[in-house]
Amino acid sequence: MKEEILQIPDKAKECYEANKTIRLPRGTPYLGMGASFHAVLTAWYCRADIQPFLASEYSPYFSREPLPLGVFVSQSGETSEVLWNRKHFQEIVAITNHADSPLASSHHIKQVIELYAGQEGFTATKTFMNTLAVLYLGLGMDPRKAIEQLAEIARSFPPIAKEEAERVASYMQGKQIKGLFVLGTGPNIGVALQGALALAESTAFAWQGMSLAQYDHGYKETARDSTVLMLTGAYPNQQRIAQIQKTLENKSNACVFMFQEQKLPELLSPFTHTLRLYLFMEALQKQLGIDASLKIGEKITKAPEPT
């Protein structure tokens, strides 16, 4: 897993160079599941003119007459729920890591945009980052400055990730943990959701991702014997972040820590926060002594289409 995470800076650059002239449709549905949907949600919170949908919910609840165009995001190109929706669109733009996948081979495909992430054996790391890069590029947001920062984070952040992982693992031992949270604001809500998903897959603990404000609306009552990671920077919600941190430290024994982005504006911070989360995830998995391979399901989720 660590090897795959450390490939992120180079693979993100490769994806950027290959796709820097692409243009994605505006005002149309963007469908995905899991990490793919979290990337779409991140772009939406960047005020991109798109319509984000969980692919599993689009078909039974939103489809009517076939629409002219939809953007389908599936890193494997095999995600069942994404493939179900092909009949609801006259043409499809596919964003995938596999140009020969069932999605990319759909008969009414208009364009295939490849992620160039290479092989990936564990949770979505390189593919999630490159999906972000494609969405940003295609929707008129240049992520170059953020991608240039990734190599430095891959060099400098592992010791910090290890230190925080040691602290969290030590805190978790001997406790009946009530909650494990990753909190973000704006564009980093999607990153918080993805970070929680990756942490859950790699540590087998039920991490939750959500907006910082949603946590403030009730989930903070689970603070005792819980871990709370906040993604922060020079963002509009700084005062609220400080307030929640103070409340948790004064009224609970929660293990509270932050990953701060100090160099980039909030719009670009999803890239650097994502890499920090992955480095922490790998370090925590090691500290807990957990095998990173999936035990219950497979990396590619396949399900029967509802009738």
* Per-residue pLDDT tens over the stretch 206-236: 999 999 999 999 999 999 999 999 999 877 8
Neighbouring C-beta atoms of residue 198, cutoff 10 Å: 29
101 and 71 in a single domain? The answer is yes
Query: What is the total count of domains within the chain?
Result: 2
Residue 20, pLDDT score: 94
Same domain, 150 and 73: no
Q: Is residue 306 part of a domain?
A: no
200 with 234, same domain?
A: yes
Final residue belonging to a domain, choices 113, 142, 171: 142
Judgement on whether residues 40 and 74 belong to the same structural domain of the protein? yes
pLDDT beneath 50: ranges in the chain = none
Alpha carbons 10 and 36: distance in angstroms, whole number: 20
288: left (phi over 0), alpha (psi -120 to 50) or beta: alpha
Q: What are phi and psi of 139, to 5 degrees?
A: -110, 15
For residue 282, give its domain range. Answer: 146-287
Closest-CA residue to 277 (of 213, 192, 207):
192
26 is a domain residue: yes
pLDDT at 304: 67
Is residue 49 a part of any domain in this protein?
Answer: yes
Q: Does 133 map to a domain?
A: yes
**pLDDT tens digit string along 109-125?**
999 999 999 888 778 89
Domain boundary among 124, 142, 160: 142
Euclidean distance between CA atoms 272 and 231, whole angstroms? 10
183 and 130 together in one domain = no
- Of 142, 165, 182, the residue at which a domain comes to its end is 142
CATH code at 223? 3.40.50.10490
pLDDT of residue 238: 81
The whole-number pLDDT of residue 126 equals 94
Q: Are residues 157 and 138 in the same domain?
A: no
What are the backbone angles phi and psi of residue 97, rounded to the nearest 5°? -90, -5
49 and 108 in a single domain? The answer is: yes
Same domain, 15 and 69: yes
Q: Identify whether 89 is part of a domain.
A: yes
Domain match, 151 and 273 both: yes
In a shared domain, residues 133 and 9: yes
Phi, psi of 85 (to 5 degrees): -85, 0
Asked if the structure places residue 303 within a domain, the reply is: no
Query: Identity (one letter) of the amino acid at 55?
Result: A
Q: What is the pTM of this model?
A: 0.93
Supply the pLDDT for residue 302: 66
Question: Going by C-beta distance under 8 Å and a sequence separation of 6 or more, which residues neighbour residue 102?
Answer: 77, 78, 83
DSSP per-residue letters across the chain: -HHHHHTHHHHHHHHHHHHTT----SSSEEEE-HHHHHHHHHHHHTT-S-EEEEHHHHHHHT--SPEEEEEEE-SSS--HHHHHGGGGEEEEEEEES-TTSTTTT-TTEEEEEE-------SSSSHHHHHHHHHHHHHTT---HHHHHHHHHHHHHSHHHHHHHHHHHHHHHTTS---EEEEEE-TTHHHHHHHHHHHHHHHH-S--EEEEHHHHHTTGGGG-TTEEEEEEEES-TTHHHHHHHHHHHHHH---EEEEEEE-SS-TTTHHHHHHHHHHHHHHHHHHHTT---S-SSS-SS---PPP-
Alpha carbons 116 and 302: distance in angstroms, whole number: 23
pLDDT at site 51: 97
Residue 114 has a pLDDT of 97
301 inside domain? no
Considering the domain architecture, whether residues 118 and 170 belong to the same structural domain is answered as no
Phi (first) and psi of residue 223, to 5 degrees:
-60, -35
> Does residue 292 lie within any of the structural domains?
no
Asked whether residue 42 falls in the same domain as residue 95, the answer is: yes
